[in-house]
Amino acid sequence: MRAVANITKFIACCAGLCGAVSLRAQEPMLHFGDDGRFVIAQFTDMHLDAEARPAEAAKTFARLDRVLATEHPDLLIFTGDVVTGRPARPIWLRLMDTLCRRQVPFCVVLGNHDAEQDLTRAEIARIVTGNPLSLNTLDAEGGLADCELTVCGRRTNAAALVLYCLDSHDYSTVGGIDGYGWFLPEQVAWLRQCCEARTQANKGVPVPSLAFFHIVLPEYLAAWRDPSNSRIGRAAEEECPGALNTGMFAAMVETGSVMGVFVGHDHDIDYVVADKGIALGYGRFSGDDTTYNNLRPGVRLLRLTEGERGFETWIREDDGRIVDRARFAEGKITQNKEIP
């Protein structure tokens, strides 16, 4: 078994406690396993609605259990639109309880629909950060802060991988501009500063990094439409990026740290395309028939190997099928039928 995380368990995980307390356990220490690997499961756009669609919510929770049982990920990352039904609190607490029982560290970023229910972003954040396995923290406004998560090497506490979980917001807040939200300039500056500091501490060598958020970057559109770019997957609808471009992708390229970006938001897209040395990818829609979807529900997995700048990825569908096996290395995506 992989030595995933050393977790201080001084909070009992049970339905009556998980999500209902503000006291947090010590954050898990993430490490590459004894086999030198680290596996991330990306769940996106679950659109849980237990009140109006209880059968569909049950299927989504069963999907979560199957993936945890079969793939044994070291970390779960939820990339938005998690709960989209009212009342929202019971289903968020049910999700927190499930994660407690499975004892897997996780991080949540919100989508454009999460706070459209009967909970504010701050109220959702308190539920999420109340879970002892959550790697989320609160920002100054009480919402979920942008996170820089460190995955250490097998035999060291030095960073071997860095994960950025970012808030891409929901909708435009600028009068006269319609559409989805975008990264604020201060977020771009923060990511740039983090990457540059990591590089400096690593003797001038960028630390391999991945970024996760909900709304697609504008650069995805040109990357997918360029036939010279290596890719895998499909797009059965148009991408829906934020209405403004504030330079997040440019910061990632210029600092040289981020090697892959993974989003959700567009349910009928699951591609990964390489552009300018970065893999621009989608997760697979992980929910059920509570909203539109024309791809078989599933989960994206990413497997990283300590000391390598690159990763392997695949999608596990409900019937156990594994599709879109691929490897990203040296700025290119290649199919790899031997994965996993």
Is the pLDDT score of 199 beyond 80?
yes
Does residue 327 belong to any structural domain of this protein?
yes
Enumerate residues 6+ apart whose C-beta is below 8 A from 67: 41, 43, 73, 299, 316
Does residue 232 belong to any structural domain of this protein?
yes
Per-residue confidence (pLDDT) for residue 27, from 0 to 100: 53
Does residue 340 belong to any structural domain of this protein?
no
Global pTM reads: 0.93
For residues 122 and 142, what is the distance between their CA atoms, to the nearest angstrom?
Answer: 5
Residue-range definition of the domain harbouring residue 308: 5-335
Per-residue confidence (pLDDT) for residue 28, from 0 to 100: 59
Q: How is 75-86 classified by DSSP, letter by letter?
A: EEEEES--B-SS
Per-residue confidence (pLDDT) for residue 20, from 0 to 100: 37
**Average pLDDT along the chain:** 92
For residues 304, 310, 312, 315, the Cα torsion angle rounded to the nearest 10 degrees is 100
Does residue 210 belong to any structural domain of this protein?
yes
Is the pLDDT score of 325 beyond 60?
yes
| Pick from 298, 332, 250: nearest CA to 64 | 298
Does residue 80 belong to any structural domain of this protein?
yes
CATH code, domain carrying 316:
3.60.21.10
Once rounded to an integer, what is the mean pLDDT over residues 315-338? 94
Per-residue confidence (pLDDT) for residue 24, from 0 to 100: 39
Q: Which two tokens stand for residue 260?
A: 């892959």
Per-residue confidence (pLDDT) for residue 319, from 0 to 100: 87
Q: How is 6-37 classified by DSSP, letter by letter?
A: E----S---TTTTTT----PPPPEEE--TTSE
Q: Which two tokens stand for residue 80?
A: 């938005």
Once rounded to an integer, what is the mean pLDDT over residues 151-155? 95
Once rounded to an integer, what is the mean pLDDT over residues 115-132? 97
What is the number of other CB atoms lying within 10 angstroms of the CB of residue 339? Answer: 15
Does residue 202 belong to any structural domain of this protein?
yes
pLDDT above 70: percentage of residues in the chain: 91
pLDDT tens digits for range 63-98:
999 999 999 999 999 999 999 999 999 999 999 999
Per-residue confidence (pLDDT) for residue 277, from 0 to 100: 98
Domain count of the fold of the chain? 1
pLDDT tens digits for range 18-61:
433 333 334 557 999 999 999 999 999 999 998 899 999 999 99
Does residue 90 belong to any structural domain of this protein?
yes
pLDDT above 90: percentage of residues in the chain: 88
Per-residue confidence (pLDDT) for residue 223, from 0 to 100: 98
For β-strands 106-109 and 322-329, DSSP reports them as: unpaired
Is the pLDDT score of 219 beyond 80?
yes
> Residue 225, by phi and psi: left (phi above 0), alpha (psi -120 to 50) or beta?
alpha
φ, ψ dihedrals at 127, nearest 5°: -65, -45
Which range is least confidently modeled, 46-50, 308-312, 318-322? 318-322
